[in-house]
Amino acid sequence: MPSRLLPLLALFALLPVACGGEGQETPADGGSEEKTEAAADESPRVVRTVTVEAGERAVWSLVGTVHARHEAERGFRVGGELAERPADAGDRVAAGEVLARLDDRDLQREYDAAAARVAEAEARALFARSEVARLADLVADENVSQREYDRAESEAEAAHRAVEAARAERALAENRLDYATLRAPADGTVMEVLAEPGEVLGTGEPVVRFARGPREVEVAIPAGRREAALEQARLPGGGRAELRDLAAGADPATRTWRARYTLPEGAADHPLGSTLRLTFQPAEPVVRVPAGAVADDGQGTAVWAVVDGAVERRSVEVVALGQESAEVRGLEPGVEVVAAGTHTLQPGQAVRVRTGR
């Protein structure tokens, strides 16, 4: 009997080993699959790249209109008939030079009457003061009553106030007479004449359009170029214009931003109202990349450059954006960037550049 059991015991002893071997096959196979997937994840991602090149519009220009820093319509501060207008359109005048005059005969009469009233009031005041001085000696000797002296003092004070009022009226009449002559407020240019001799004008009605101050060029900055307008502009034949004013909002009709550039001294040879071309060249190079290469991940706009088989995030400033391409600052021409599908890339991620189509 024992000799018959030995083979069976040996068989039972081998069963756990066989079962154990089968139980370990599944995890061994699962581990190899995970390793395969991990290896697949770590393999370089295939990307399509382009080499950036200088943008065609790195240098761009706009045509603007020449203006003066200050332009305003000027008229008389009193009404009347325009007697003469020595200034003509295009005249360059000095500060204080006569631009136009009204018929001031009535104003002169008003001034003469006011001056006469001042003389009369001053004479009465002089008499009143002398009367007070005379009564002062008499009241000291008790030859006149204190009441009479007090009345004389009151009359002298009233006469003095009358003199002040008459002088104020004379000053107003003098101002009105002076207002009948329109003078240049500063050195400048008569841009336009708006009235002719013989016309009866109301107070403030414009007679000339006057320009003064440095010459400037006003341009309309198109959408997508507003940031680039913060640079200096070059003038034809050399020289630079400096940005003085840039509108905070766009024109609702044209969707452009108004900007004014101050011309250098000695630019008077550019007539007011003439056109002038301004050329803009960015201080940093502008390069062109595919529109799909530009991404905004919440930290600003950027592209992904391929360096030594891995990607690096490069911050850029978008100067102009089109449907197929964008012009950006912050990259040198010749950098290789990922052309599309950049939203899933991570810094340092390995990539393999796809060749062909």
Assign residue 125 the CATH number of its domain: 1.10.287
Query: Does any domain span residue 27?
Result: no
CATH code where residue 327 lies: 2.40.420.20
For residue 41, the model assigns a pLDDT of 54
Of the three residues 179, 207, 226, the one that is the final residue of a domain is 179
Domain assignment of residue 347, given as a range:
45-56+284-353
117 or 237, greater pLDDT:
117
Average of per-residue pLDDT values in the chain: 84
SS (H, E, C) 235-287: CCCCCEEEEEEECCCCCCCCCCEEEEEECCCCCCCCCCCCEEEEEECCCCCEE
- Which tokens go with 174? 């003098």
Burial (0-12, 13-18, 19+ Cβ within 10 Å), 157 = middle
- Which tokens go with 113? 């009457």
pLDDT digits (tens, 9 = 90+) for 143-194: 788 888 889 999 999 999 999 999 999 999 999 999 999 999 999 999 999 9
Of the three residues 136, 156, 179, the one that is the final residue of a domain is 179
231 or 288, greater pLDDT:
288
Query: Does any domain span residue 219?
Result: no
At 112, the pLDDT band (50, 70, 90 cuts) reads: very high
Query: Does any domain span residue 242?
Result: no
At 27, the pLDDT band (50, 70, 90 cuts) reads: very low
In the predicted model, is pLDDT for residue 329 greater than 90?
A: no
Percent of residues in the chain assigned helix, strand, coil, to nearest 5:
35, 35, 30
Query: Does any domain span residue 253?
Result: no
pLDDT digits (tens, 9 = 90+) for 267-276: 667 888 999 9
For residue 356, the model assigns a pLDDT of 55
Mean pLDDT, residues 226-248: 84
At 196, the pLDDT band (50, 70, 90 cuts) reads: very high
Query: Does any domain span residue 209?
Result: no
Q: Do the Cβ atoms of 190 and 209 come closer than 8 Å?
A: yes
Query: Does any domain span residue 237?
Result: no
The domain total for the chain is: 2
Strands 351-353 and 45-47: parallel
- Name the range with the highest mean pLDDT among 11-15, 50-54, 342-346: 342-346
In the predicted model, is pLDDT for residue 316 greater than 60?
A: yes
Query: Does any domain span residue 312?
Result: yes
The pTM assigned to this predicted structure is 0.60
**What is the percent of the chain with per-residue pLDDT over 70, rounded to a whole number?**
83
Place of tokens 């519009």: 57
Strands 233-234 and 275-280: antiparallel
| Dist CA 337 CA 168 (whole Å) | 81
Of the three residues 116, 147, 179, the one that is the final residue of a domain is 179
Contacts of 119 (CB under 8 A, 6+ apart): none
Distances (CA, A) of 66 to 179, 211, 253, 263, 274: 31, 11, 22, 9, 6
Query: Does any domain span residue 228?
Result: no
